[in-house]
Amino acid sequence: MKKLFLGAIVLMPVLFLSGCASISVCKVKTAVNQKFIAPKKIYVREFTGIESVFRVDRKGDSLVEFKAKTASQLSSDLVKKLNESVLPAEVLATNTQPPKGNYWLITGTFDRVNQGSRALRTLFGFGFGGTKIETTVNVASLSTGKEVEILNFKTSGGSNMEPGPGILMGPPDPTTILPLIWGVSMPGLSKDTTRTSMEIAAEISDYLTKHGVPPKNPNIKVKLMSQAR
């Protein structure tokens, strides 16, 4: 009983501080003197990125596979979030010509993908071994048959100051409930990718709202980095 009570005390700061992990939007730029036309659909291309920005424990074919998997996850997560909370959306294959019409196209680049150290995150947390994902996002109108940029912004974030369960409770004790949070409390790049897609969708929803388009999901809110605009 005493173990469970102590476990509950330890669990509370873990849950409270886990919210410190986040992705934010910054450096938002909108087109000047560009006529606004609300799109019927949004297309998403997989983001690209040079090999040197991927600071992960992979090389060669393994790194190529990791990059492809990360890009695929971001595009699929983003399309899902847009469909749920913003407007109809779908992935546009890399070599497919975008359609002409009342549509938008989202493209982007990975500027930084840092895997960090799972061991340090697990043992200490609070920034040690933290993950990091940074992207540049471009939104273009396809109404003229050409890609005309209307919105550009960046996203940045990662595991940040999450506490490591190791520093709070030591090695996991299989006889208590605490081991359940040993793995799940330390999200990696996959979780950061999902969070990035959510912020991209939120920024686009915010842009549409400012131009008179009611949000499909009023609860979706963009998280702006301090002094981001």
Asked if residue 157 has pLDDT above 60, the reply is: yes
CB 101 within 8 A of CB 141: no
Q: How do residues 27-36 score in pLDDT, each as one tens digit?
A: 999 998 888 9
Per the DSSP assignment, residues forming a β-bridge with 58 are: none
Which tokens hold the place of 115? Answer: 């895997």
Domains (ranges, CATH) in the chain? 21-210 (3.40.50)
DSSP 180: H
Q: Which of 8-12, 129-133, 166-170 has the lowest mean pLDDT?
A: 8-12
Which tokens hold the place of 203? Answer: 């920024």
Look at residue 112 in the predicted model and tell me its pLDDT. Answer: 95
Q: How do residues 189-210 score in pLDDT, each as one tens digit?
A: 899 999 999 999 999 999 999 9
Asked if residue 181 has pLDDT above 60, the reply is: no
CB 108 within 8 A of CB 137: yes
CA dist 99 and 82 (Å) reads 19
Q: What is the mean pLDDT of the chain?
A: 80
Q: How do residues 50-71 score in pLDDT, each as one tens digit?
A: 989 999 888 899 999 999 999 9
Instruction: Tell me the C-alpha to C-alpha distance, in Å, between residue 140 and each of 81, 93, 112, 129, 208.
Output: 19, 16, 23, 36, 13
Asked if residue 188 has pLDDT above 90, the reply is: no
